[in-house]
Amino acid sequence: MVKYHETTYEDYISEISKCNFHKELQHVIGNETTIEDMTNYIFNGPCGIGKYSQALLLISRFSPSKLKYEKKVHLTINKNEYTFKISDIHYEVDFLTMGCNAKIVWTEIFNTIVNIVLSNGINNGIILCHNFNHISAELLDIFYSYIQQIFYLPINLRFIFLTERISFLPIRIINNAMLINIGRPNKVNINKRFGKHSNIVDNLKELYLPNVEYKQSEQQSEQSEQSEQVQSEQSEQVQSEQSEQVQSEQSGQSEYKIVDELIMMITDQTTFKISQLREILYDLLTYDIKMYDVLNTIIMRLIENSILDLEKLPELMNDMHICMYQYNNNYRPIYHLENMIVKIVIHANK
């Protein structure tokens, strides 16, 4: 596993040819040989599991140079400079960096890509969309028009979306792409790949949690070289330590503070005020906290504390499904968030 911003396309293809943790996708991804026959793709899964590697592996199939060509394009839009990487067949756009002028930035980038494809003589191209789950609501509302627009251009353009969730996507985009769900690599396969290496702890660190530092003594390194059984035990210990550190770090995050505030309001109706609820939910939207995780945490905490009866859960899930469907339409999201919390309050206090 390598980070896309630190390596070349060739490095990725070389690494994945040595060890592909998602070989099962070879039977799922289509066998198109030309971009004209290619469909759009959505690679969905948690951060750091290899979505980008799998996307490059797919793109290399259509690249005349097998992704040996690599270049950066610089654009100045509203006095701000934007950079995106290109190969001889694909163009990478990061939706996380577009800022508040996402519609203007995307339009300029899209038109630039179209002009490049028109001028390169191949008339084929793939737009690789990084962090598509961070697309702004106003751009998402009109994004489908760009997917339709390519059918009226004298070129063949296809999209590959990399995202950590799909619940926000309009059904029209999902129906115009092949959805590929990618899970975390199997622990057994990871041990097979790194089991004979003395730096197994470092490898696992990069695979699972790059921001957490681990310390490995020389004695542990020697033991890992001597016995695969010891290596397996070290792997489990590393993952256990990682889990504890993750919980420790997350405890101070704003997401958990918001959850605590919401649970306090739900359990004590005397403190429940719509105006205060709206302020908390605005924080949820402002800080781009994953609303789905927050709702799941609230429900689980209420069940654990015997505030929400399990028998009421099916009815609550049915109500939540309706609210979630409306929320994903990106119309008045704050209203639908309020509605979901009110539904939880009603079921918790029945």
pLDDT (tens digit per residue) in 179-191: 999 888 777 766 7
Q: How far apart are CA 41 and CA 55, in angstroms?
A: 9
Burial (Cβ within 10 Å: 0-12, 13-18, ≥19) of residue 38: buried
Helix 291-304 vs helix 254-267: angle between axes, to the nearest 10 degrees? Answer: 50
- Judge if 103 and 144 occupy the same domain: yes
Which tens digit of pLDDT belongs to each residue from 114-149? Answer: 999 999 888 899 999 999 999 988 899 899 999 999
Residue 241 tokens read as: 């330590």
pLDDT in tens, 205-256: 444 443 333 334 344 444 444 444 444 444 444 444 444 444 434 434 566 7
The amino acid that residue 271 corresponds to is T
1 in a structural domain: no
Same domain? 169 vs 306: no
Do 246 and 258 fall within a single domain? Answer: no
CB 62 within 8 A of CB 181: no
| Residue 289 placed within a domain | yes
For residue 112, pLDDT over 90 is answered with yes
Q: Are residues 235 and 305 in the same domain?
A: no
Q: What is the pLDDT of residue 215?
A: 39
pLDDT digits over 313-349, tens only? 888 888 888 887 777 665 677 888 888 888 888 888 7
Confirm whether 308 is domain-assigned. yes
By the 8 A CB rule, do 54 and 43 touch? yes
CATH of the domain at 339: 1.20.272
Instruction: Please report the DSSP string for 86-103 in residue order.
Output: E-SSEEEEEGGG-GGGHH
pLDDT-derived band of residue 38, with 50, 70 and 90 as boundaries? very high
Q: Is the same domain home to 145 and 14? A: yes
- pLDDT, the chain, mean: 78
Query: In whole angstroms, what separates CA 49 from the centre of its chain?
Result: 10
* CATH number of the domain enclosing 72: 3.40.50.300
**The most confident of 85-99, 233-247, 264-278, by mean pLDDT:** 85-99
Could you give the number of structural domains in the chain?
3
Q: Where are the beta strands (DSSP E) in 236-287?
A: none
Token pair of 307, please? Answer: 């505030």
Residues spanned by the domain of 246: 199-250
Cβ neighbours of residue 176 under 8 Å, at least 6 residues apart? Answer: 40, 144, 147
**Same domain for 237 and 279?**
no
Exposed / middle / buried, residue 105 (Cβ in 10 Å: 0-12, 13-18, 19+): buried
* Domain identity same for 231 and 259: no
Least confident of 6-20, 32-46, 175-189, 231-245: 231-245
294 assigned to some structural domain: yes
Rounded percentage of the chain residues whose pLDDT exceeds 90: 27
> Residue written as tokens 């001028």?
119
Instruction: Indicate if 102 and 244 belong to the same structural domain.
Output: no
Q: Say if residue 213 is in the same domain as residue 142.
A: no
Asked if 33 and 174 sit in the same domain, the reply is: yes
Specify the DSSP element, H or E, that contains 124.
Answer: strand 124-130
